[in-house]
A and B are shown apart, each in its own frame.
Chain A
Amino acid sequence: MPSPCKPPRRRQGPAAQAWSDLGPALVAVGIWGVVTGVAMVKAGLTPWQAVGMSLLVYAGSAQLAALPLMVSGASLPIVWISALIVNLRFFIYSLGLRPWFRHQRPLVRALYGTVSTDAQVVAIARRFEKGSRSAARRRLFLRYFQVSAAMNWACWQVCSFVGIFLGGLLPADSGLAFLASLALLTLLLPMLKGRPAWGCVATAAVVSVVLKPLPLNLGLLISVLLGVAVALWLTPPAVLQQAPTPLPEPNRRESDPS
């Protein structure tokens, strides 16, 4: 006979967790995708070149950094170096992901690294940095990573194609680009806990503004390095000796409903 009591609430699986964590972030990813799609076509790329760039490069900030240089006829090495510098923050992100993929084959590891994104790394940092890397938890992580990467990739490509093929219908200054920045802010807000986090963000904010005029988007890379350095400096030595260290508690209402 069925119990009249409500069944206990099921714990979320890693796929559902990925959906739950990255839902708001996908708004950001989608807007960035549309903005980048529009920018590529406005820069003079044919629709198929723009589609090729979206599929092959899959890095909005690097694409947006390279486009003005391509339009101005800059030499290829300058375009490549600029993209490399903008992308360098992912080198730091990927180093952080490395322990989780240690047991995967090299090609699979490279593929996973290549499809990782800002939004995904933020979500992973919030959910997985705390705790062990046991075999069972690694399996959960892998599933979470696969689902979140697939969501990000599909959302980015679809929205980028919308921008490429329908961008001409939007008014010239629709304010859409800033909505993408606003969406990035909402990724950042839940992480602002503790002195090291605030020190990191304050440093990166000031340095990124001061160094904005530097060529090749060097200011972005230097901001990341200095922000991380300040966070390290503000982290108590006892915490530093533990690796991985506990992250600030994830937001209970949104990130960990289980």
Chain B
Amino acid sequence: MTSLEIWLAILGIAATTLLTRGMPLLLPARWQLPAGLSSALRYAPMAGLTAILVPDVVLSNGALALEPSNLKLWAVGIAFAVWLRWQSTLMALLISGGVYLGVRLI
């Protein structure tokens, strides 16, 4: 890509940010979501985070990697366990991340 094309790409991607995040807030007030859909929207962030996270954990070069040598699975398991035990997200992140990086170093 030329420098101009790179800047055009950047501006276009910026426009998609504005379009998807800003536009819904500009819809007229009379445009109402059905109550059921409005209720379901609170689950969108959960689904979004899951859809970003899970393929990164269970796929390796496009193939399923559910074997014990997959360190990422262990790290996720540890994060779950720490969360269940102490209900602390920070502790879950620090311990699971520490174990993951530590084992990689070894």
Which A residues are within 8 Å of any B CB, using their own CB? 23-24, 27-28, 45-46, 49, 52-53, 56-59, 61-63, 66, 70, 73, 76, 79-80, 83-84, 87-98, 101-102, 106, 109-116, 118, 121-122, 125, 129, 175, 177-179, 181-192, 196-197, 200-201, 203-205, 207-209, 212-213, 219-220, 223-229, 231-232, 235, 239-245, 247, 251, 253-254
Contact = CB atoms under 8 A, between A and B. Distances in A.
Contacts of A62: 13, 16-17
Given A106-B26, A182-B93, 12 more contacts: A24-B93, A45-B6, A49-B10, A84-B20, A89-B44, A90-B17, A178-B56, A182-B96, A184-B52, A205-B51, A228-B40, A232-B36
Nearest to A32: B52
Interface residues of B, number: 71
A63 B12 CA distance: 11
Contacts of B43: 196-197, 200, 227-228, 231-232
B21 A113 contact: yes
A88 B24 CA distance: 11
Given A76-B8, A80-B12, A227-B50, A116 B39 contact: no
Contacts of A247: 42
The 5 nearest A-B residue pairs measured at CB: A227-B47, A223-B51, A110-B22, A94-B24, A231-B43
Contact of B25 (A97, A184, A191, A220): A97
A205 B59 CA distance: 12
A57 B6 CA distance: 13
B27 interface: yes
A203 B41 CA distance: 15
Nearest to B37: A232
A235 B22 CA distance: 29
A209 B42 contact: no
Nearest to A229: B40
Contacts of A23: 90
Interface string B2-38: 0101111111111111111111111101000101111
